[in-house]
Amino acid sequence: MVKLRLQRTGTKADPHYRIVAADIRAPRDGKFIEAIGHFHPTASTVKKATFNEEKTLSWLKKGAQPTDTVLALLKKDDVWSKFKG
């Protein structure tokens, strides 16, 4: 099964996250299939993720399951409503 999840990058005091499609058996920061976006939570007061919409919708249509955190980011960025509606 494929999950859409966060992969941590950056330094100890300045985290960055890639949003990736990865096999559920792969470790958090390990091998992934495709990077579909990024998230920088400390960039400003507005914490916003950036998605490649085509890739994200493609993975969702193929049956990839987002984690709770990625689902919240998808809803905040209105990508989830495009998938459902």
The pLDDT tens digits along the chain (85 residues) read: 999 999 999 899 888 999 999 999 988 888 999 999 999 888 666 677 899 999 999 999 999 999 999 999 999 988 999 998 7
Tokens of 77: 């960025």
Which pLDDT value is given to residue 46?
A: 66
Rg of the chain over Cα atoms, rounded to whole angstroms, equals 12
What domains are defined for the chain? 2-84 (3.30.1320.10)
Is the pTM of the predicted complex or chain greater than 0.85? yes
How does DSSP assign 36-78, residue by residue? EEEE-TTSSSS--EEE-HHHHHHHHHTTPEEPHHHHHHHHHTT
